[in-house]
Structure 1
Amino acid sequence: MDERQLRILRELGDLGSVSAVAEALHVTPSAISQQLRLLQRSIPVPLTERAGRRVVLTDAGHALAAAAVEVESAMARARHAVTDFAERPGGVVSVAAFHSAASAFFPPLLRGLAGPEHPRPALADEDVAQDRFPALTRDYDLVLAHRLDHAPPWPRTVTSATLLREPLDVALPAGHPLAAKPLLSPRDVADQPWITVHDGFPLMATIEAIAAFADRRPDIAHRINEFTVVAEVVAAGGGLALMPRWTTRAHPGVVLRPLGDVHARRHIDVLHRPERTARKAVRTVLAELHAIAAQIQGRDTSATT
């Protein structure tokens, strides 16, 4: 028994013939008859009977047709409730991000969506290995994820869009001899001790590319994922590090220098399950994230012109 079969039964009671129901529903009479037979299989008493050349409802058929009116009304209310929810401008939208993206995006997101007429972001930090980001879309409406420029795309089970393509610079102590150079090569830095991320996180692949270009094994002194901690360790002379240019806070004891000859750029992407954007509130937050990304990149452009 399904909603379409119940509607056919109701229309048969109202219109009085299979041909009239078929015309009203824009299908063939045989399609109507088939649906009535399928419905009859789930009901222990006859729903229709012959009256001359016509098929009409029995008393049981009339009783079920009357109940079908209530079913259609309930389904219509349910559809309207879902539509109202989907088009509601407010409501909670959950957003997860890895640490440096959270630091850069969360404060302006809260400021940009302040007020009762806007969605209410529910924010969470999720600093996971690259291959675990898609699974987070099960628990959050929107997920800010990172991957390297040349990394494989995200799986088709999630929808993705790039917010930023962010350069990765070499972070050095302010007094380091290499800080005087405007552009560094892999050979300049390959023999230095490195502060890098744990295995499975995108920046590690760039460290390996630097070492391969210079034909040397990387000297990994420390493994730290949190860039604010990395900056402190760099400033204290613990080694060099790769740091994103736009989404980490400046440190007075650290200078950033661009790196040539290797791909040193990461994507900050926003992931979500396709059905999440059926909600207007989620679409609003997604648009705000894109606007924030444009502002972040715009600040860098204005600073260099």
Structure 2
Amino acid sequence: MELRQLEILRELGALGSVTAVAAALHVTPSAVSQQLSALQREFQAPLTQRRGRNLSLTNAGLALSRAGVDVIDAIAAARHAVEVFEAVPSGTVRLCGFHSAAQALFGPVITELRTLEDAPKLHLADEDVAQEGFPQLAARYDLVLAHRLAHSAPWPSDDLQVIPLVQEPLDVALPIGHPLARRAELAPADVAGERWVTSREGFSPDDLVGAIAAVTDRSIEVVHRVNDYGSVASVIASGDAIGMVPRYTVGSAHAGLVLRPLTGITASRRIDLLTRPENLHRQSVQTVIAALRFVMARLVEATELPPPRPE
């Protein structure tokens, strides 16, 4: 039994003919008859009866029609509740992000939303998962800040909407005074022989170190595996190793480092927002998306690599 069938039965009781019901609902008489036949198959008692050229409801049909009014009214109320919920600009939005994005974006987004009247209420969380784990987070959060390497497989499209934010370079991070800091850019062969601090397996920096090993046909000496970029920066600044860090979202951690672009391989990652399709109907979610886009654009605009020191 479907809502449309109950609506047709109700109109038939009011209008008395299939033709009139079809005209009222802007469908064909054949479509009305098919829906009535499908509804009748669910009941033993006849729901309609012929009276000359007209079709009227039996007592069983009248009983179902009256009960159907309550169903139609409840569905209409539910739809209205959803419409009101979607239109409320100050609704609660659950946003999660991986660590570097959270550190770079959460505070500025809160500040940006404070400038708005009836701003959404943010519930923030950080999630440190490997690339393939981000789509599953959309079941728990309204918006998921996710990253993947530019050359990796796209996000799954089933029950998931993807909103691109930025394509972020991952740069080679060197301690101040390192000989390679004098160069404007670095090739895989320049860095393959260095000691490395990188992430755990399954995360972008480790994937790039693997790519460096592949294109140079060399074994890379990984001496530390740390996922937090602040800790990575501390290790690099000490002079014990070099690493890869994201250019825009590394934040203040780059203050003690020299960043240089890596050529010869695609050293960048996409930062996207993942969400369930129904969330995009909510005004509060759209407001947070706009704030994230604005903050990210401002972050990119403000980020410049310092020039190399003269030889």
Q: TM-score, normalised by structure 2?
A: 0.90
- Quick check: 1:266 aligned with 2:269? yes
- Residue 237 (structure 1) aligned to one of 223, 236, 239: 239
Question: Quick one: which amino acid aligns to residue 273 of structure 2?
Answer: V
Give the C-alpha shift of residue 231 in structure 1: 0.9
- Residue 223 (structure 1) aligned to one of 195, 210, 225: 225
- Residue 205 (structure 1) aligned to one of 201, 207, 210: 207
Instruction: Go from structure 1 to structure 2 and tell me whether the alpha carbon gap of 1:293 and 1:175 turns closer, same or farther (over 3 Å shift).
Output: same
Give ranges in structure 2 of 5+ residues lacking alignment. none
Partner secondary structure for residue 239 of structure 2: coil
Give the C-alpha shift of residue 229 in structure 1: 0.5
CA distance in 2, matches of 1:261, 1:10: 69
CA distance in 2, matches of 1:119, 1:149: 31
Partner secondary structure for residue 188 of structure 1: helix
Instruction: Go from structure 1 to structure 2 and tell me whether the alpha carbon gap of 1:218 and 1:206 turns closer, same or farther (over 3 Å shift).
Output: same
Q: Is the 8 A contact 2:145 2:271 kept in 1?
A: yes
The residue number in structure 2 matching 1:49 is 49
- Residue 257 (structure 1) aligned to one of 256, 260, 269: 260
Instruction: Go from structure 1 to structure 2 and tell me whether the alpha carbon gap of 1:276 and 1:217 turns closer, same or farther (over 3 Å shift).
Output: same
Offset from partner CA, 1:200-219 (integer Å, 9 cap, x none): 11222221222333332111
Q: Percent identity?
A: 51
- Quick check: 1:289 aligned with 2:296? no
CA distance in 1, matches of 2:96, 2:282: 17
CA distance in 1, matches of 2:28, 2:166: 54
Partner secondary structure for residue 234 of structure 1: helix
Q: Is the 8 A contact 2:230 2:253 kept in 1?
A: no
Q: Is the 8 A contact 2:260 2:305 kept in 1?
A: no
The residue number in structure 2 matching 1:58 is 58
Question: Quick one: which amino acid aligns to residue 221 of structure 1?
Answer: V
The residue number in structure 2 matching 1:7 is 7
Q: Is the 8 A contact 1:148 1:203 kept in 2?
A: no
Give the C-alpha shift of residue 116 in structure 1: 6.1
- Residue 185 (structure 1) aligned to one of 164, 184, 187: 187
Q: How many residues align?
A: 304
Question: Quick one: which amino acid aligns to residue 288 of structure 2?
Answer: V
Give the C-alpha shift of residue 41 in structure 1: 2.9
The residue number in structure 1 matching 2:154 is 153
Deviates more, 1:180-189 or 1:119-128: 180-189
CA distance in 2, matches of 1:68, 1:26: 20
The residue number in structure 1 matching 2:97 is 97
CA distance in 2, matches of 1:272, 1:59: 48
- Quick check: 1:20 aligned with 2:23? no
Instruction: Go from structure 1 to structure 2 and tell me whether the alpha carbon gap of 1:66 and 1:180 turns closer, same or farther (over 3 Å shift).
Output: same
Partner secondary structure for residue 197 of structure 2: strand
Offset from partner CA, 1:46-85 (integer Å, 9 cap, x none): 3222323332222332333233333222222111111111
Instruction: Go from structure 1 to structure 2 and tell me whether the alpha carbon gap of 1:67 and 1:179 turns closer, same or farther (over 3 Å shift).
Output: same
Instruction: Go from structure 1 to structure 2 and tell me whether the alpha carbon gap of 1:9 and 1:286 turns closer, same or farther (over 3 Å shift).
Output: same
CA distance in 2, matches of 1:12, 1:253: 77
CA distance in 2, matches of 1:187, 1:142: 39
Question: Quick one: which amino acid aligns to residue 143 of structure 1?
Answer: V
Instruction: Go from structure 1 to structure 2 and tell me whether the alpha carbon gap of 1:34 and 1:160 turns closer, same or farther (over 3 Å shift).
Output: closer
Offset from partner CA, 1:107-162 (integer Å, 9 cap, x none): 01111112660111111111111111111111111111112222222121222232
Give ranges in structure 1 of 5+ residues lacking alignment. none
Q: Is the 8 A contact 1:137 1:271 kept in 2?
A: yes
Give the C-alpha shift of residue 251 in structure 1: 4.6
CA distance in 2, matches of 1:150, 1:204: 14
CA distance in 2, matches of 1:126, 1:191: 33
The residue number in structure 1 matching 2:198 is 196
- Quick check: 1:214 aligned with 2:216? yes
Partner secondary structure for residue 154 of structure 1: coil
CA distance in 2, matches of 1:303, 1:119: 37
CA distance in 2, matches of 1:57, 1:163: 57
Deviates more, 1:8-17 or 1:101-110: 8-17
Q: Is the 8 A contact 1:221 1:238 kept in 2?
A: no
Partner secondary structure for residue 293 of structure 2: helix
The residue number in structure 2 matching 1:137 is 138
Give the C-alpha shift of residue 169 in structure 1: 1.6
CA distance in 1, matches of 2:52, 2:181: 98
Partner secondary structure for residue 43 of structure 1: coil
Partner secondary structure for residue 267 of structure 1: strand
CA distance in 1, matches of 2:295, 2:79: 34
CA distance in 2, matches of 1:47, 1:259: 74
- Quick check: 1:74 aligned with 2:74? yes
